[in-house]
Chain A
Amino acid sequence: MKSIKEDILEDMKNTCLTVSFELKKHFRMKRMVISFALAIGLPLIFYIVPRIWASFPETAEEFANLNLSFVNLLIIISGSLFAGDAVVGEFEEKTGLLLFSTPQRHTTIFIGKYIGALLPTLTVVTIYYLTTSLEIIGIYGTEGISLEFFKSFFIALVYTSSAVSLIFFFSSILKRKITSTLLGFFSLMMILPIVSSVLQFLVEVEPWYILTYTEGLITGVFVGATPIGGGPGGQPGQFSPDFYQGITIMVVYTVVLFFLSVFISNRRRME
């Protein structure tokens, strides 16, 4: 009989195996190339277009605010790409018949799949911020990188985790890859922002519990810049999310949806 220590180490090894398999799969399917290209290409638009046709904003904060207003778009696209078919794909394509018959614990497979979707999405966001920071240094010098920029970066990473959790959750409950990917994409892109707008403008209550509402913090920390309202959600609403409450909501979404997804996936059986 194995000791608990050996058991944990074996589970960790198996999880790492699943993560590396998932990463290889994303790489083979060119998802990594597409999303990394987007992470470099999108912020470059904000550099090249003003350089040719217009002028840059007066302050680095305004430039960062403009540029990062669209990072949520990239989070949603890459989150849908990497997490949309993570669990449902195994059931739809019946590849689970091979995977689930291995001696590896099912829980470690699903945790590995989650990490395998989370890591590349976090990398994509990091590349986006890295490109933006290089642009800021190029235009405004190193003093253009403020503490707010780092705040925004870490908030974007937390938001990424919660977005991946939501899409992964859809992947664990739905039966088709396309439905899961589209539902994940559209819920973050349209459905939740619409609900949030309706609550703000028609019901006039603050939708603090809606995930996409808290995403406003990514650019909301640039207090000196005029809100742009780019990306999903459109124009700025009449409320703005509270910093600490927003972060707590993101963490709660991430953790609860992650555990729910793993629990549901574990109980799912091949049909």
Chain B
Amino acid sequence: MMSWRGNMRGLIILVIVIILFSTVTNNSASAYLNSTNQQTPFDDFDLTITNLTFSKSEPKEGDNITISVNVSNNESFPIPNEEIPIQNLTLTLIRFEENITERKISMEPKTNSTFDFEWKTVGGRQTITAFLSVETTDSNERAPLDEMSKEIWVEPEPIGDVYSPILALAIIFLVVFGSVTIPSIIAFLTDKNSSRKEK
């Protein structure tokens, strides 16, 4: 009865420790995403990402594909423009929280432009986000203008094979169960040696 209670108590303590540990280690999550949700001072700008396309719909891992981002400037002035305090217009491609690439672009008034990016694919279901941002001449801070995300499935390269872990398991069993015979063999060899010496 005591051991049952002791085990239960131990288990409860373990579960509490695990929950505390998980809370501490997993608290670094959406810092980046939150940072992109700032209020933009360029809300009135009519500069948008209108399309995001991939050159291959089902690429394989490691393939180089072209990601095309279509940006539309419906304003009557070019961007960047010295008259309005915009220093740089940047188009960034993001996979999860990691920048794939970024490029400084310029847009003529009332135009649509397509920008191509080369990307060496990474296996799995990938969400690619095109992110348009501006920098002002007053401060070097970047403000978001528009973003567009699209999912793509990249056929991954399989990792390893199924036989290796089976072989590893077989080696472990062989060593563990085989080690039972070692003392007998050692005893046999030492007996043999001692009887030789006696002779």
Q: Is the CB of B26 within 8 A of A221?
A: no
**For window 63-114 of chain A, which residues contact chain B by CB distance below 8 Å?**
73, 77, 81, 105, 107-108, 111, 114
> Please, what's the 1-or-0 string for A7-30, where 1 marks a CB less than 8 Å from any CB in chain B?
110011001000000000000011
Q: Is the CB of B22 within 8 A of A234?
A: yes
> Please, what's the 1-or-0 string for A142-155, where 1 marks a CB less than 8 Å from any CB in chain B?
00000110110011
Cα of A243 to Cα of B160 in the assembled complex, Å? 6
At the interface, yes or no: B3 with Cβ under 8 Å from chain A?
yes
Which of B123, B172, B181 is the one whose CB lies under 8 Å from A158?
Answer: B172
At the interface, yes or no: A180 with Cβ under 8 Å from chain B?
no
* Residues in chain B near residue A154, CB distance under 8 A: 162, 165-166, 168-169
Q: Is the CB of B25 within 8 A of A226?
A: no
At the interface, yes or no: B31 with Cβ under 8 Å from chain A?
no
Give the number of chain B interface residues (Cβ < 8 Å).
45
> Please, what's the 1-or-0 string for B1-34, where 1 marks a CB less than 8 Å from any CB in chain A?
0011001100100100110011001101000000
**Within the complex, what minimum Cβ distance (angstroms) separates B159 from chain A?**
5
Q: Chain B interface: which of A43-51, A133-141, A204-212, A255-263?
A: A255-263
Q: Which residue of B lies closest to A186 (CB)?
A: B17
At the interface, yes or no: B35 with Cβ under 8 Å from chain A?
no
Q: Assess A247 versus B168: contact at CB under 8 Å? Given A108-B180, A258-B175, A262-B179.
A: yes
Q: Which residue of B lies closest to A149 (CB)?
A: B162
* Residues in chain B near residue A248, CB distance under 8 A: 168
**Within the complex, what minimum Cβ distance (angstroms) separates B158 from chain A?**
6
> Please, what's the 1-or-0 string for A37-66, where 1 marks a CB less than 8 Å from any CB in chain B?
000000000000000000000110010000
Q: Is the CB of B169 within 8 A of A225?
A: no
* Residues in chain A near residue B176, CB distance under 8 A: 111, 114-115, 118, 258
Q: Chain A interface: which of B44-52, B105-113, B184-192?
A: B184-192
Which of B14, B169, B184 is the one whose CB lies under 8 Å from A157?
Answer: B169
Cα of A156 to Cα of B176 in the assembled complex, Å? 18
**For window 28-76 of chain B, which residues contact chain A by CB distance below 8 Å?**
28, 61
The 4 closest A-B pairs by CB, nearest first: A234-B25, A243-B160, A154-B165, A223-B156
